[in-house]
Structure 1
Amino acid sequence: MKLRFFVVALLPYSLAHAEPRYTQSDFGGVGLLQTPTARMAPAGEISFNANRTDPNTRYSVSLQPLDWLEGTFRYTSVTNRAYGPEELSGNQSNKDKAVDFKVRLWQESHWAPEIALGFRDVGGTGLFSSEYFVADKRFRNLDFSLGIAWGYIGNRGDLRNPLGFLGDSFNNRRDTTTAGDVNTSMYFRGPPSLFGGVSYQTPWAPLSLKVEYEGNDYQHEPQNNNQVQDSPINIGAVYKLNDSIDLSIGWERGNTALFGITLHTNFVSRKAPAKTFDPPAQPLPTKATAMPLNQIDWVSVSQQLEKNAGYKVERIAQRDSELTVYGEQSKYFYAAKGVGRASRILDNNANSDIQWFTLVNKRYDMPIEETSVPRSTFRDVVNNEQDLVNLHRTTEINRASPRREKTLYQQKPDPFTYGFGLGYQQNMGGPDGFLLYQVSAYAEGQYRFTPGTWASGGISANLLNNYDKFKYDAPSGLPRVRTDVRKYVTTSDVTMPALQLNRARQLDQDLYAMVYGGYLEPMYAGVGGELLYRPMGERWSIGADLNYVRQRDFNQGFGLRDYRTVTGHITTYTKLAFDLDAAVSVGRYLARDWGTTVDISRQFSNGVKFGGWVTRTTASSEEYGEGSFDKGIYISIPFDEMMSVSTMSRANIGWAPLTRDGGAMLHRQYSLQTMTDGRNKEAFYENFGKITE
């Protein structure tokens, strides 16, 4: 009665304040406490969540690749259950990995609620698996939700299954699952239960309150871990510490406290750090120089193009009123930014005979695309005398084509490049330690014998790790092509992750080829090749790779082991609806199994990518082992989004429920699809505004 009075008493204040904001549930994903809602975070949102409700501690990552699709990867630590034998796991508590999905079926309108369908724990052990429908309707500062759930969320099971008319199999739900399988035979089985609640945005902007009725009575907990529930009503509060941090407290089951924290950001709406360490863009001249082109100091211009615009210049040429720079963009993630800076430099040096600036972007001597900028329009836009749309309309991006022209300057770039840095790798959720990690120092280098022929490699040295705990090798019914990972990371403190010779070439205007050989990745050496057909500006491409590889010694030196195989795939890349990208690979994997990998991702205009993959092969579930088949999710974030200096590098983070040998691909260092990304016109025009920066 007190709680009911509290909510009603605050209701009048809700009429004049902001709408409820969407926060994360205990399990990760937008929701109340133990239960989900139909709400979704804005597209591009990512959140890292941690909370504690005895006996479970949950760590999760939630991604919002689309307005109507939410994905969550979660670890649950069941702290009153042991992971395994003490001699292996010590006092480590049991861990559960899971993947969740939620899809919006109907968007809220004036009269109709928002409706979503969700699946919890679809790719792990299934300890907390559940399926549900849930609807939300907002009234001022209040957001009401009501749903029906099967499985864990609805474990009270106080309703008859409305799907029972489809067959008796819907009336019962199995208690056990195959770890890592999708367990579709359990979906919507058994008696369900209702759940729901309300979230309230208080007059104080940082604070929101939650009340829910949950459909789980905690008398059917996994691992015989039943809990006392004094009340099915849970209450909680979320305090917005700042734009990126939420703190949560609550009282659940009528007897247990909740504490949680969420770190979140949105890669669509957030602004990247100001590039304070970049050189300023050159100002435009008040008038064009009168100096003839053959008297210009092109050596100085070439140096400016590299330092300020990121182009490693190979050649500068003239054709009539067009000045063309051939080079490789090596600094700016946004192609338009490099083009704009190069146009400023050329405008400062070229006489009035030149009306067009063309930048031909090359990758390892392969022409990828050429971008032509009208000089007078570019100058007017920079000087705010014309709208950007006029420059957008007249700037051309085309297939790079041979032409007759006069070479003004030519140079051979420095063949040797190198770099140093710190590396980090980890293995999470294993029976010998929840987090096994290594911090290392690395040096890497590249030497170009010709523009299209180069050697690349590196050395890594261990600085800090806790691999003394790393003792477990997963069982396998297949050749150990990946499950020997422990031996590869613990045998030597100094390793050579890769050392290979490469040759790339453009065979035709839309056809590219590459061959390579050497120590291709930490576990495999060999030789291989790749072909890619990628028409300029098209939304599709097709490629094929073929590799003969042999396993490397565990110390990642020059030695080789006996296992060898042929592996390769034919891969189609295409653009789908909703701005989704698909890559479908068909071929032979490292364990000599044959199959298909489907990779679906969403890349935002700033280059941040959310994605996931599924692989099914001829390896049976028994051969594959726990998990049944390979799957996972990943995030790829350009460092340009996080740093105060421009860079083309990326951070790639992937999560897979388990490491197994089935469906394992060779981790090739170079990919023609990535190397030819300049052929994606849409990406250039999406960020066209950066041409003036």
Structure 2
Amino acid sequence: MLCGSALAEPQIQSGYTTYGTPGLIEMPTAHAMPDGELAYTFSYSRNTKRNTLTFQMAPRLTGSFRYALLNDMDPSSGANLGTSGSFRFDRSFSLQYLISEESERWPAVSVGLNDFLGTGIYRSEHVVASKTLTPQLRVTGGIGWGRLAGVGAFDNPLGVVADRFKTREDRVSNQGGQLEASEIFRGDAAFFGGVEFQATEKLKFSAEFSSDRYELEDGATFDYENPFNFGVSYQVRKNINLKAHYLYGSEVGVQLTYAVNPKNPPNYSGLEKAPPPVVRRSAAALGWEETYRISAQNSTERRADQVLKQYGMGLHGLTITGATARIEIDNRSYLSQAQAVGRAARAMTGVLPAQVETFEVVPVKNGIAGAEVTLRRRDLETLEFELDGAWDSYARARIESATDPLNPVPGRYPYFDYDIGPYFATSFFDPDNPFRADAGIELSARFEPVQGVVLQGAVRKKLVGNLDESTRDSTSVLPHVRSDFNLYEKHGDPALKHLTGGYYFKPGEDLYGRVTAGYFETQYGGISTELLWKPVDSRLAAGVEVNYVRQRAFDQGFEFRDYEIATGHASLYYDFGNGYEAQIDAGRYLAGDWGATFALDRTFKNGWSVGAFATLTDVPFDEFGEGSFDKGIRIEIPIGWVNGQATRETYTNVIRPVTRDGGARVNINDRLYETVRDTHQPALADTWGRFWR
């Protein structure tokens, strides 16, 4: 959550505004936050609560999603806000881009947009500059439009470029979610500014001149007296910040910010088991008893399986031909396939005969082979303790398509596994209660009778929670394919979350196939087929999926309701590198509407993923209802990042401003791109730094 100027390690700390954006108190500053930082900000003052999730999407680009509860908002604003009692609810987005970083002579400069997709309550734009004068003192000045042109307004200087910049029309009442780009940077402008002083390592004082006149709130939500705001912040911990403010000359406010950075796990070195040592061939020739305490009478396959199990993997196949060994592994513990490959190769140095010089390691998922990683044994022996061992080992490795068919060892199938543990489910932005949650016990099981066939399911029993307390009825004019979600929570306890049988296969080179049938998710079951084209060394993939589904009964048992539909999508995937991935899905959705979904995700090397998506279909905005179209933020957190253990389990949450029926798609576990992408060359390259971990 902390960020300094570009100068040499200044002590001053950057923070977040009451809107959850990088800034002073309510006005923005120019500095970006640390790359990858994810922050939640809650701010409160009389009649106003704001909850904001902010993500530093790239070193220069900051994005924020905000959910505000506003009491006594002026109804003449024309905003179509959800209501509950005297409260009104508003959702809005913000973006800020760092144009130039601070240097010894020049300030940092950023440009920002606020509420450009919402109802327009907070709609504004700004250009801002910030300069660190001393290690403890920073000043900020900027020019704003829209709401930020309410105090000391003057004619728009952009009017010299074109007359259209001189005027700004009020946003008409809408359902939210509509981009009105034609009004950006138009109309009158005004200056704002402020100063920050870092008194101690933890204590900072701020003062600002706000150019927001708060015309919609003045006299109703609160009393506006003057444009000066004052604040004090205290850094409780590295990732927790508390603030107190005196606002508008009349109000006192408080603020809490909690920030995490996927790059900085709580357990930096991890608590997972240390990797196996590379056993030099002189030692390997002595046998296995001294190194792994396994009987020398066991077969090579059995010994290989036993040692891989010690390190959270399973042996799928092992073939030795002359000086080459092909090792097929089931990675059951590591989010990074590169880490699994590295550990498997090191383990095999203590198993395979000394004459074996080449290891071909093939990760296997759902009975499908990933890339074939070819390593020379002497490179493992040479590079184990080298400073640049990760880079050198990648440069010397060969990663290509696994052309030979898989050859399971005797006893690999059938395979059965189960797990029982806690679950946590959440719901956001119900106007009657913006946050609801359930916690309970989940039993899950997986059975693979033969290669490529996967039977899996999960049952949940709630122990505590309030997801079933939502009483809002759907007002959708579309088929209720998602908007009755609260009825599933109300009647589904215990619940069969999913129960499916899937067949995974390779119909040709670079082609992958899937057929899945059963209860896919909470609300739908049926049959799904998919075909994916994905070369092992390519960042581009394309696929097609066709489903015939039926809506499940609200109790989430074995029965179905009357609604059924055929859906399908053509998909295009592209991995830009450095963790950025884009996906486009075009086709027919659950309500029978046609359109496309656009998604962009950033996945970190440790498995964290944060992304956003938007779906536009042929459903008109007024028929879709509040929000105008489906959109949201998805976050995936590796459990191992939290507890330091080696596990492939993750916590996944999709945050939608509102759940409606347009643009809804069925959820299916283990779609093909999700199954194969991390076993291919681009993903292996991105995470190869964990090869020796």
Same fold? TM cut 0.5: yes
C-alpha RMSD of matched pairs (Å): 2.9
My pick for the range that moved more, 171-180 or 524-533, is 171-180
1:100 is matched with which residue?
A: 94
Measure, in 2, the Cα distance between the counterparts of 1:90 and 1:574: 43
Cα pair 2:48 2:70 within 8 Å, conserved = yes
1:592 is matched with which residue?
A: 592
Measure, in 2, the Cα distance between the counterparts of 1:190 and 1:628: 26
Cα pair 2:639 2:650 within 8 Å, conserved = yes
Secondary structure of the residue aligned to 1:410 is coil
Cα pair 2:521 2:668 within 8 Å, conserved = yes
Measure, in 2, the Cα distance between the counterparts of 1:116 and 1:301: 59
Q: Deviations over 1:527-586 (max 9, x none)?
A: 110110001121110011010111111111111111111111111011348753210111
1:199 is matched with which residue?
A: 196
2:567 is matched with which residue?
A: 567
2:551 is matched with which residue?
A: 551
Matches within 5 A, 1:26-65: 26-65=18-57
1:332 is matched with which residue?
A: 334
Matches within 5 A, 1:63-102: 63-79=55-71, 93-102=87-96
Cα pair 2:609 2:636 within 8 Å, conserved = yes
Measure, in 1, the Cα distance between the counterparts of 2:87 and 2:315: 57
My pick for the range that moved more, 436-445 or 461-470, is 461-470
2:232 is matched with which residue?
A: 237
Measure, in 2, the Cα distance between the counterparts of 1:387 and 1:672: 32
Q: Deviations over 1:369-396 (max 9, x none)?
A: 1222221221222255985443232122
Q: Deviations over 1:202-252 (max 9, x none)?
A: 3x2222222211001223339x73532333121212222221111112222
Residues 45 and 530 (structure 1), Cα distance of their counterparts in 2 relative to 1, 3 Å cut? same
Secondary structure of the residue aligned to 1:101 is strand
CA shift, 1:295, in A, is: 6.6
Residues 364 and 219 (structure 1), Cα distance of their counterparts in 2 relative to 1, 3 Å cut? closer
The counterpart of 1:158, out of the listed 146, 153, 157, is: 153
Q: Deviations over 1:441-482 (max 9, x none)?
A: 211112212121121111111212224631112321211111
Instruction: Tell me, yes or no, if structure 1 residue 126 matches structure 2 residue 120.
Output: yes
1:604 is matched with which residue?
A: 604
Secondary structure of the residue aligned to 1:287 is helix
1:315 is matched with which residue?
A: 317
Instruction: Tell me, yes or no, if structure 1 residue 210 matches structure 2 residue 206.
Output: yes
1:4 is matched with which residue?
A: none
Instruction: Tell me, yes or no, if structure 1 residue 498 matches structure 2 residue 495.
Output: no
The amino acid across from 1:551 in the alignment is Q
Q: How many residues align?
A: 671
Measure, in 2, the Cα distance between the counterparts of 1:368 and 1:316: 15
Q: Deviations over 1:118-156 (max 9, x none)?
A: 122233332222222222233223322222222233333
Residues 18 and 311 (structure 1), Cα distance of their counterparts in 2 relative to 1, 3 Å cut? same
1:489 is matched with which residue?
A: 489
The counterpart of 2:273, out of the listed 278, 282, 305, is: 278
1:250 is matched with which residue?
A: 245
Cα pair 2:31 2:101 within 8 Å, conserved = no
Instruction: Tell me, yes or no, if structure 1 residue 147 matches structure 2 residue 142.
Output: yes
CA shift, 1:510, in A, is: 0.7
TM-score with structure 2 length normalisation? 0.90
Matches within 5 A, 1:260-409: 260-270=255-265, 272-278=267-273, 281-282=276-277, 284=279, 287-290=282-285, 297-384=299-386, 387-402=389-404
Secondary structure of the residue aligned to 1:458 is strand
Cα pair 1:177 1:183 within 8 Å, conserved = no
1:676 is matched with which residue?
A: 676
Residues 510 and 90 (structure 1), Cα distance of their counterparts in 2 relative to 1, 3 Å cut? closer
Measure, in 2, the Cα distance between the counterparts of 1:489 and 1:66: 37
Instruction: Tell me, yes or no, if structure 1 residue 24 matches structure 2 residue 34.
Output: no
The amino acid across from 1:429 in the alignment is F
Measure, in 2, the Cα distance between the counterparts of 1:120 and 1:339: 45
My pick for the range that moved more, 100-109 or 655-664, is 100-109
1:509 is matched with which residue?
A: 509
Measure, in 1, the Cα distance between the counterparts of 2:638 and 2:312: 17
Measure, in 2, the Cα distance between the counterparts of 1:296 and 1:417: 24
Unaligned runs of 5+ in 2: 1-6, 76-81, 289-295
Matches within 5 A, 1:516-665: 516-576=516-576, 580-665=580-665
Secondary structure of the residue aligned to 1:663 is coil
2:215 is matched with which residue?
A: 219
Measure, in 1, the Cα distance between the counterparts of 2:536 and 2:94: 37
Measure, in 2, the Cα distance between the counterparts of 1:155 and 1:221: 13
Measure, in 1, the Cα distance between the counterparts of 2:559 and 2:579: 45
Residues 129 and 121 (structure 1), Cα distance of their counterparts in 2 relative to 1, 3 Å cut? same
Residues 643 and 17 (structure 1), Cα distance of their counterparts in 2 relative to 1, 3 Å cut? closer
Residues 353 and 409 (structure 1), Cα distance of their counterparts in 2 relative to 1, 3 Å cut? farther
My pick for the range that moved more, 621-630 or 110-119, is 110-119
My pick for the range that moved more, 482-491 or 187-196, is 187-196
Measure, in 2, the Cα distance between the counterparts of 1:423 and 1:265: 22
Measure, in 2, the Cα distance between the counterparts of 1:386 and 1:158: 58
Secondary structure of the residue aligned to 1:353 is coil
The amino acid across from 1:245 in the alignment is I
TM-score with structure 1 length normalisation? 0.90
Q: Deviations over 1:309-329 (max 9, x none)?
A: 333212211122112212321
2:478 is matched with which residue?
A: 478
CA shift, 1:175, in A, is: 5.7
CA shift, 1:602, in A, is: 1.8
Cα pair 1:291 1:351 within 8 Å, conserved = no
